[in-house]
A and B are shown apart, each in its own frame.
Chain A
Amino acid sequence: MMTRNVALFVTCLVDVMRPRIGFAAIRALEAAGCDVVVPQGQTCCGQPALNSGDRDHAAALAKQTIKALEPYEAIIVPSGSCAGTIRCHYPEIFEHDAAWLPRAQAVAAKTFEVMAYLDEVCGWKPEGVSVDAKATYHDSCSGLRELGIKAQPRRLLKSIDGLTFAPLAGEETCCGFGGTFCVKYPAISNAIVGEKADAIDATGADLLLAGDLGCLMNMAGKLNRKGSKVRAYHAIELIAGMGDGPAIGEEA
């Protein structure tokens, strides 16, 4: 098998809140035959600034991220929303910047969400992984609508022994996280995630899976507050065979 020299863009949220997701991504990518590097110049892709309207800071962080990531064959991100920022929005940011636009486009073209990369590019499937549980899946918005991620995680998860699925009503409906939306309009966000948490509970699943830590923290935080027993993981944790570790909000 050809080894691929790929860079992992960890994302600020995974870095600070749940490093396991980064390690799971590395483990799965290595199993799929990739050589994974974590470039040290990375911090955050700039999405919070971009979505707040602060284009200058967004551009500054985008430049830093481009510089850190451009030497690699592919850039892998364990988050649909951060991958979407690099793929879809970096070229927009530098629309009128002749020097940076080609660099932004080049990086955008080789940036992938981790599960999409494993499934579509590597054609890989987890082997010998088993999890005895019933899961339900939430399609996070940016991954779904900016990158077309829908079938890929499901295909990967279907290769896990013992894992069964319960469909989630409104699986494509936003959970109300929205980056800074959840702190700017907490009451509206709460009403949205409240409905989401009820729908998750109604599936009777043991596990809630998704591909974005922000959404997962929002849903898991609400589920915990309402006393639900559903446990939440980033799907890549299960795919990488790390589903036996603590779920989001459980002590290690």
Chain B
Amino acid sequence: MSGFTDRADAALADPILKIAVERTAGTAEAKRGIAVAAFPDFDAARIRAAAIKDHVIAHLGHYLEKFEANAVAAGAKVHWASTSDEACRIVIDLCKRANAKTVARSKSMLGEEIGLPHALAEAGIGRVETDLAEHIIQLADERPSHIIWPAMHKTREQVSALFKAKHRSPHEEETIAAMAESARRQLRGEMLGADVGISGANFLIADTGAICTVTNEGNAELSLVPPRVHIVTAGIEKIVPSMPHAIHMLRMLARSATGAALTQYTTFYTGPRRPGDRDGPEEMHIVLVDNGRTRMREEGLAEMLRCIRCGACMNHCVVFRQIGGHAYGGTYPGPMGSVLTPVFDGLPKNRDLAHACTLNGKCQEVCPVRIPLPTLLRGWREKSWREGLEPTSMRFGLGVWAWVARRPALYRFGTGLAVRAMRLLGRKGWIGKLPLAGGWTRYRDMPKPAAQTFMAQYQRERRK
């Protein structure tokens, strides 16, 4: 695939994308603002949320063992995967052992991260997405562009056209109700016929071995209840010590994501069906995935493991709002994605992401677990510099500038020259074309500097 700048340019050239992103992210921003203002002391709650996660990350081994023991006691089987390939292999093996022709999948970012849709296709296993937006993405053969609203880059009009082309008995009216009905007709039968359900987890609760999932469509339940076998895939950082901690995190998650007090469906479940239960899977498997997470802890990215995938950082990001999620090129977009993608996909291919940020700090301000995203991005920039990945022109330019800036007398001479040169290019008060700053003057004018630098004027006045 092309690089970040090309993808961003393509996104900027798409007026419909801009409308679609603005509708969803703009609404989310406004609603979060109202929800947070109505919360008694949101900052104290953020501090507590961050502390809960920090504690867990510092004692990850302890809580994972506890979770495993309790999940097993409840009848689940726990599997461990250190890479995405291993995770997919475990899931595919489980599906094959269950003789699965189709799986009902509920949206999970971890599933995207490890490439599960692709792995299922390769293994010849059919996949029905229970999340409406994921269904849209599947029909369009695209990747999610947001972690909460995978199809946020599509307008209702585009979705309607897609359904009309791909559904067996599509809607006739252009209303949301009719479109939803069309999706229901398409999906229901497939969902109920699935042999295996695969879902993610928002929280893993250590002291009970329970899983917590939140959705707005109740679709996690559709992958969890009807199929005979249920597989949960979750990142190891999803753990919380106990139910009260999970409840606190849920309050932060819902408000930060959509501005709602709670998500429509919040489900806790522990183990498979017990004797006497009327429904639920016969077998339950939990696949706990590392995929770089312990490495993050060692490499100065431990704070990123606090992330509860609420999406607030991207909804409030000026860059995301202009280019949407696909431009970031990874599973996770926006500020959190720019920190995470180099972990999964290497820095050399993704050095642009660390730079494609104005360091304005809004993402950190809204993050419910106070992740210092700008600092972490600056950390990637430093690594990229140390490893020689930054362009030579940049290294050379900054080197010369710093060398001069460390010699104040020479620096004053240089700035004096620069001012005179710039003034020659100006007409009236503005410069319309500035060599070496073409990126600036392509879109905006540059004010003409004053005749003398501050330092020169100040020296002259003091001599008088």
Contact = CB atoms under 8 A, between A and B. Distances in A.
Interface of A: 10, 12, 14-20, 22-23, 38, 40-44, 46, 48-55, 57, 60-61, 64, 92, 141-142, 144-146, 172-174, 176-194, 217-218, 220-222, 224-225, 246, 248-252
Interface in B447-464: 447-455, 457-458
Interface string B305-328: 000000000000011001100000
A178 B398 contact: no
Contacts of A224: 430, 444-445
B358 A19 contact: no
Contacts of B278: none
Interface of B: 5, 8-9, 12, 318-319, 322-323, 354-362, 364-365, 375, 378, 380-386, 390, 394-395, 398-399, 401-402, 405-406, 408, 411, 415, 418-419, 428-430, 437-440, 442-455, 457-458
Contacts of A187: 8-9, 12, 443
9 contacts: A16-B453, A40-B408, A46-B402, A53-B380, A53-B382, A55-B382, A182-B440, A221-B444, A249-B429
A49 B398 contact: yes
A180 B440 CA distance: 10
A193 B448 CA distance: 20
A146 B361 contact: yes
Contacts of A180: 355
A146 B444 CA distance: 27
A173 B382 contact: no
Given A183-B439, A184-B439, A190-B443, A16 B449 contact: yes
Interface of B is mostly: helix
Nearest to A186: B439
Given A20-B450, A185-B8, A187-B8, 10 more contacts: A10-B455, A16-B454, A54-B398, A64-B405, A64-B406, A178-B357, A178-B360, A182-B439, A190-B442, A222-B444
B454 A23 contact: yes
B357 A141 contact: no
Nearest to B457: A19
A130 B408 CA distance: 38
A15 B358 contact: no
B454 A10 contact: yes
B408 A48 contact: no
Given A16-B453, A53-B378, A174 B362 contact: yes
B44 to A, nearest CB: 18
Contacts of A17: 447, 449-450
A52 B454 contact: no
Pick from B9, B386, B445 the residue with the most CB of A within 10 Å: B445
A186 B454 CA distance: 28
A98 B354 CA distance: 29
A183 B440 contact: yes
A43 B453 CA distance: 12
Given A146-B361, A174-B360, A184-B355, A192 B319 contact: yes
Contacts of B428: 251
A189 B449 CA distance: 22
B322 A53 contact: no
Contacts of A190: 442-444
Nearest to A144: B361
A42 B411 CA distance: 10
